[in-house]
Amino acid sequence: MHVTDVHAYYETRSGPIRAVDGVSLELNHGEILGIVGESGCGKSTLAAALSASGPPNLRIGKGKLTLDDRATVDLATSGGTPREWRGDVISLLPQRALNSLNPTSRIGDYAYDVIRAHNSKLRKREALELAGDRMVQLGLPARVLQNYPHQLSGGMRQRVVTVISTLLNPTVLIADEPTSALDVSSQKALILLLEKMMEEGMISRVMFITHDLALLSNIADRVAVMYAGEIVEIGTTREVVSRPQHPYSKALIGATLEPDPQQRKLTIQGLPGSSPDMRNPPQGCRFHPRCPYAMDICTREAPPRMGPAHNHATCWWVKQQADKGLDTGGIDRVTGERVATAS
Amino acid sequence: MSQVNASQPLLEVRHLTKVFGSRETEVRAVDDVSFTVQRGEIVAIVGESGSGKSTLARMLLRLTDATSGEILMNGTDVTQIRGSRNLKPYWREVQGIFQNPVASFNQFYSVGRVLRKTLKLTGRRYSRDEEQAKLSEALRTVGLDPVDVLPKGAHQLSGGQLQRAMIARALLVDPKILIADESTSALDASLRVTILNVLRELRDRLGMTVLFITHDIGQANYVADRVFVMYRGEMVEQGTVDEVLGNPRHEYTRRLLADVPRLGSWGDEEASTLQPVDATA
């Protein structure tokens, strides 16, 4: 899957909010790509734009989507991903499973709805059997199909919705903050479920969106870091986590709290300020007002992309370090401080 | 409240129990929980959803009645105080900070107006200048600029500013204890650290006592002096952070530690023999 130069904005009375501004990425077969960033960085808008599930005021200004040998879709002129792709080709796993379920119908009815939308010939009994088999195959009790949503715990509900939203073996699963409302044990259960579904071939590509970098590093093959509507760094999970280039990635990693006895002896400084107003983003590099390494040029000119498409950081400071032959990578996981590493 | 006795714990909870439903449908949300909290310490109460930690918080805030047991504030049992008029003095001493600051702020009021209303609840009279000084002091304590923030409406503040304004609001009534119920869980990592630093500063500078309720053991480790672990309504472990996280004795604490996602790995991949609470009803 190739996503090329997606621009998406929300129409508001006070002007367009450019939530996603020129995002390109590729998602390979059998790959889990993580997208991480603060609230408001555009990661959920990207999910909505690609899965045709945004609110009515979401507009796509530009952008192309190519999926396997299917024709390239111009997201702007076609009004987004074709509706008939939903669930079948691209499926969205939403943040709060409870909100996507009808409280007065049984889980099984929901499963039937999903299947019926793409295969109207299937009888209800057959659909339920299919859904039940899938549950059992993934280690969940088939009886949940007879339950109402309120009878399930939050973690179970999220797992059940995950299974149902992938009943049609979608080519791409876009998971938008699926673990945010869960406690750590349920988070882990959901991650293990997704991994099992990949192994069994029920899903073949996952775009996993979250603000939890620690969690993401346990599931994603590659990670893209988003800030103010743009991808500021992308690379393999190992590279991004252990040798982050972009100052924003470093800050995100530095602020990740772990039950580490060393960490509690320190005072970790969070990033000052907040993410910019996307009606009027800062000139030059959008991160410069909060960046500890900001230079004069950062306030004036858009930063250069350092590295190839699949592994780069977009930053003036990274360029400067490279020009001087200095290393940018390395971060002390405990203190969040940059440490010098031999290049 | 009775006089302060230096050796007496600020808060003592004895055999506190909350039962929902009756007979067949009975759920013991909090089951015979006892602990003490000293002045000027941050205690984290850790547990997964359904462990009873929020019910415990609501009982301590006297927002819900206990089924049995005692809550001793400075040696006086407050579980028998009923009615909001009688509870007001207690609510001035124990303040809650919740997860969703947007829901706790009237969208149509400026921050200044919300804070002034809160100040009125203390029952003390302030001149306009004193009032302004009080508000400014509270906002500065949490790292906000009063000139910038006071005239703004809640929708004009960022999530982090709003969360800080809520802490400032709680501080205005000069409480003895802050009870933070998952108040940083929905925040971005960087902002979360900033708010946790505010809590640590309140403890270090003002000797504030904080009960920090969370499912995130990483946050508990960073902010707390002691950690209590709840599992299925029971308090299964209490101790200093080093004791509980460094040498967990209860099986559930060990599982919790193993399940915390760490940068790069899932801790140790040790299969758990505990049945998760998270199952169908």
Tens digit of each residue's pLDDT (9 = 90 or more) over A220-230: 999 999 999 99
Count of domains forming chain A: 2
The answer to whether residues A216 and A258 belong to one domain is no
The answer to whether residues A259 and A333 belong to one domain is yes
Q: What are B155-193's pLDDT values in tens digits?
A: 888 777 888 888 999 889 889 999 999 888 777 888 889
Residue B108: its pLDDT value, please?
A: 84
The distance of A130 to chain B (nearest Cα, Å) reads: 20
Q: Does A156 touch chain B (CB under 8 A)?
A: yes
Coil vs helix vs strand at A313: strand
State which residue of chain B sits closest to A263, comparing Cα positions: B222
In which order are the strands placed within the sheet that holds B209-214? B94-97, B177-181, B209-214, B42-46, B226-231, B234-240
Q: Which of B216, B219, B281 sits opposite A151 (nearest CB)?
A: B281
Query: Which of A192, A224, A256 represents a domain boundary (last residue)?
Result: A224
Note whether B49 contacts A271, CB cutoff 8 Å.
Answer: no
**Mean pLDDT taken over chain A:** 87
Least confident of A49-63, A87-101, B66-80, B226-240: A87-101
C-beta separation of B255 from B272 below 8 A: yes
The answer to whether residues A174 and A318 belong to one domain is no
DSSP character at residue B153: B
Backbone angles phi, psi at A49, to 5 degrees: -65, -40
Q: Which positions 239-278 of A are in contact with B (Cβ < 8 Å)?
A: 241-242, 251-253, 255-261, 263-264, 267-271, 274-275
Residue B268: its pLDDT value, please?
A: 35
Averaged pLDDT, A109-121: 85
The answer to whether residues A89 and A20 belong to one domain is yes
Q: Does B27 touch chain A (CB under 8 A)?
A: no
Residues 6+ apart with CB under 8 A from B147: none
The answer to whether residues A185 and A257 belong to one domain is no
The answer to whether residues A176 and A313 belong to one domain is no
The answer to whether residues A174 and A75 belong to one domain is yes
- The answer to whether residue A30 is domain-embedded is yes
- The answer to whether residue A62 is domain-embedded is yes
Q: Which domain holds residue A61?
A: 2-97+166-224
* A143 contact residues in B (CB cutoff 8 A): 280
- Token match 């006592």: residue? B209
Least confident of A142-151, A159-168, B125-134, B271-280: B271-280
Six-digit token string for A122? 């299937």
**Closest by CA position to B235, among listed B11, B10, B63, B14:** B14
Q: What CA–CA distances, in Å, run from B117 to A136, B158, B280?
A: 56, 22, 44
CATH number of the structural domain spanning residue A25? 3.40.50.300
The distance of B103 to chain A (nearest Cα, Å) reads: 17
Residue A79: its pLDDT value, please?
A: 64
- Token match 């909100």: residue? A99
Q: Which of A184, A215, A251 sits opposite B215 (nearest CB)?
A: A184
CA trace torsion A321, A326, A332, A338 (10° rounding): -40
Residue B3: its pLDDT value, please?
A: 55
Cβ burial of A38 (10 Å; 0-12, 13-18, 19+) is: buried
Can you give the C-alpha Rg of chain A in angstroms?
21
Which residue stretches of chain B have pLDDT < 70?
A: 1-6, 264-281
- The answer to whether residue A88 is domain-embedded is yes
Residue B275: its pLDDT value, please?
A: 36
The answer to whether residues A260 and A323 belong to one domain is yes
Q: Does B40 touch chain A (CB under 8 A)?
A: no
Model confidence at A330, in pLDDT bands (50, 70, 90)?
Answer: low
- The answer to whether residue A158 is domain-embedded is no
- The answer to whether residue A84 is domain-embedded is yes
Averaged pLDDT, A283-311: 94
Distance CA B239, CA B237 (A): 7
The distance of B101 to chain A (nearest Cα, Å) reads: 15
Residue A94: its pLDDT value, please?
A: 80
Model confidence at A335, in pLDDT bands (50, 70, 90)?
Answer: low
Q: How far is CA B153 from the centre of its chain?
A: 25
The answer to whether residues A81 and A6 belong to one domain is yes
- The answer to whether residue A134 is domain-embedded is no
Residue B265: its pLDDT value, please?
A: 56
The answer to whether residues A206 and A251 belong to one domain is no
The answer to whether residues A197 and A273 belong to one domain is no
- Mutation pick from A153, A223, A236 vs chain B, by most beta carbons of B within 10 Å, is A153
Distance CA A58, CA B73 (A): 53
Distance CA B206, CA B174 (A): 10
- The answer to whether residue A305 is domain-embedded is yes
Q: How many CB atoms lie within 10 A of CB A319?
A: 17
State which residue of chain A sits closest to B220, comparing Cα positions: A259
Note whether B189 contacts A255, CB cutoff 8 Å.
Answer: yes
Q: What are A238-260's pLDDT values in tens digits?
A: 999 988 999 999 999 989 998 98
Q: Which positions 162-201 of B are in contact with A (Cβ < 8 Å)?
A: 186, 188-194, 196-197, 200
Model confidence at A210, in pLDDT bands (50, 70, 90)?
Answer: very high
- The answer to whether residue A141 is domain-embedded is no
The answer to whether residues A193 and A296 belong to one domain is no
